[in-house]
């Protein structure tokens, strides 16, 4: 069996009295494409935010490449309010900020595009390389890091070539058409040199043709950059085409997991999310 990349363990995220993610357990192995699906408000993006450090889980842990990177247990006011399971199982607090998690090799895109608006396409990708910069401020100011900077610029050019944005590299990021902005967000995430890529609804707002292109693109970059991919998506064509395994969330709880074929025939998933065709 291949190496385990990401493991979310008994993760519960509770906001006040609302349990957004309830005792979530999932595993992603090296080289897999795993999808997280579910109806709106099921807690998919919250699960992403817990994984990437934007939120601190109320209870539970996250492991990355065999190392525990996040852990928390109910504290303070939450002690009384806590409605989830496994209370008392975790005793440590490990809460790195998102940038530290990105440096470990996990990069993400956003559901609503978050590009740096005043910057060109090229700079958007180049800035993502900043977290791999070793030069200090003084050597950056006095250009003593020229070799590193040159190398980074070269890498960004190559990356833009791969994702097909080389011809628009000097345009403002926001002047690109929607589909290309999505692609740029993925390119930017790739520039941070991740081993695990998290895509939050990469096909949102895309037409069927753009969605097909994106499906092929995700497969391509997985092979080319040796990635493991974890994605949230509502386009079932895309999900069923490229996922190795699928997890289904409903009201914060995991209701199913399995291969696309298994999920498509799972009664609970059909009731909660997929539904049946009208003429069936």
Partner 1 sequence: MTLKKKQTIFTAAVLLVLLLASMALDATLPSYHIAITCVKKATVYALVAVSMNLLNGFTGLFSLGQAGFMLLGAYAYGVLCIPVAKRAGVYQYFDGGLIQFSLPEIFAGFLGDTIGSTVGMLVALAIGGLLAAAMAYLIALPVLRLKSDYLAIATLGFAEILKAFFQWNALGPITNGSNLLKSYPSFEKGTSYILLAGAMIAIIVLLINSTYGRAFKAIRDDEVAAEAMGINLSKHKRLAFVISSFFAGVGGGMLAMYNGTIAAAPFKSALTYEILLIVVIGGIGSITGSVLASFLYIFSSEWLLRGLDSGTFLGINAPGIFKNGFRMAVFSVIIMIIVLFFRKGIMGDRELPDLLVRRNKKSRKEAAGK
Residues that bind partner 1 (CB under 8 A): 52, 54, 97-100, 102-103, 107-108, 110, 114-119, 123, 126-133, 135, 137, 140-143, 145, 149, 152, 172, 175, 188-189, 192
Element (H, E) at 52: helix 44-52
**Toward partner 1, which CB reaches closer, 54 or 255?**
54
Q: How far is the CB of 61 from partner 1 (least distance, A)?
A: 21
Distance (Å, rounded) from C-alpha 143 to C-alpha 165? Answer: 28
Q: How far is the CB of 164 from partner 1 (least distance, A)?
A: 21
**Toward partner 1, which CB reaches closer, 44 or 245?**
44
**Toward partner 1, which CB reaches closer, 104 or 162?**
104
Q: How many CB atoms lie within 10 A of CB 118?
A: 9
What three-state secondary structure class fits 96?
A: coil
Q: How far is the CB of 5 from partner 1 (least distance, A)?
A: 18
DSSP 157-223: HHHHHHHT-GGGTTSBGGGS-HHHHHHHHHHHHHHT--SEEEEESTTTT--HHHHHHHHHHHHHHHH
**Toward partner 1, which CB reaches closer, 78 or 127?**
127
**Toward partner 1, which CB reaches closer, 73 or 188?**
188
**Toward partner 1, which CB reaches closer, 137 or 277?**
137
Instruction: Check if the beta carbon of residue 21 is closer than 8 Å to that of residue 218.
Output: no
Distance (Å, rounded) from C-alpha 6 to C-alpha 40? Answer: 24
**Toward partner 1, which CB reaches closer, 228 or 266?**
228
Tokens at 253, concatenated: 């709880």
**Toward partner 1, which CB reaches closer, 55 or 273?**
55
Q: How far is the CB of 139 from partner 1 (least distance, A)?
A: 9
Strands of 245-250's sheet, edge to edge? 106-108, 196-200, 228-232, 33-37, 245-250, 253-258
Instruction: Check if the beta carbon of residue 51 is closer than 8 Å to that of residue 71.
Output: no
Q: How far is the CB of 201 from partner 1 (least distance, A)?
A: 15
Q: What does DSSP assign to residue 243?
A: -
- Tell me the β-bridge partners of 254: 249
Q: How far is the CB of 192 from partner 1 (least distance, A)?
A: 5
Among residues 229, 239, 212, 220, the alpha carbon closest in space to that of 109 is found at 229
Task: Outline where DSSP puts E strands in the chain.
Answer: 4-15, 18-29, 33-37, 59-64, 67-72, 106-108, 196-200, 228-232, 245-250, 253-258
Q: How far is the CB of 221 from partner 1 (least distance, A)?
A: 17
Q: How far is the CB of 134 from partner 1 (least distance, A)?
A: 10
């Amino acid at each position: 069996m291949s190496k385990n990349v990401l493991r979310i363990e008994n993760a519960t995220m509770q906001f006040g009295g609302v349990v957004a993610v309830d005792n979530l357990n999932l595993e992603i192995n090296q080289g897999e494409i795993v999808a997280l699906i579910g109806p709106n408000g099921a807690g998919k993006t919250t699960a992403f935010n817990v994984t990437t450090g934007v939120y601190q889980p109320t209870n539970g842990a996250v492991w990355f490449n065999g190392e525990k990177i996040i852990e928390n247990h109910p504290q303070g006011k939450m002690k009384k309010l806590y409605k989830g399971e496994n209370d008392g199982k975790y005793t440590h607090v490990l809460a790195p900020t998102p940038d530290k998690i990105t440096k470990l090799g996990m990069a993400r895109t956003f559901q609503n595009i978050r590009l740096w608006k005043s910057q060109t396409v090229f700079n958007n990708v180049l800035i993502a390389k900043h977290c791999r910069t070793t030069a200090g401020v003084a050597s950056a100011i006095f250009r003593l890091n020229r070799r590193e900077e040159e190398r980074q610029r070269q890498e960004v050019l190559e990356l833009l070539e791969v994702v097909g944005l080389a011809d628009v590299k000097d345009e403002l990021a926001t002047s690109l058409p929607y589909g290309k902005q999505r692609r740029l967000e993925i390119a930017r995430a790739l520039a941070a040199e991740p081993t695990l890529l998290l895509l939050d609804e990469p096909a949102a707002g895309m037409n069927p043709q753009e969605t097909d292109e994106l499906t092929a693109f995700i497969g391509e970059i997985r092979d080319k950059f040796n990635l493991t991919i974890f994605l949230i998506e509502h386009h079932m064509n895309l999900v069923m085409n490229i996922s190795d395994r699928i997890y289904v969330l409903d009201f914060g709880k995991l209701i199913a997991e399995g291969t696309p074929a298994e999920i498509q025939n799972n009664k609970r998933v059909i009731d909660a999310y997929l539904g049946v065709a009208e003429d069936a």
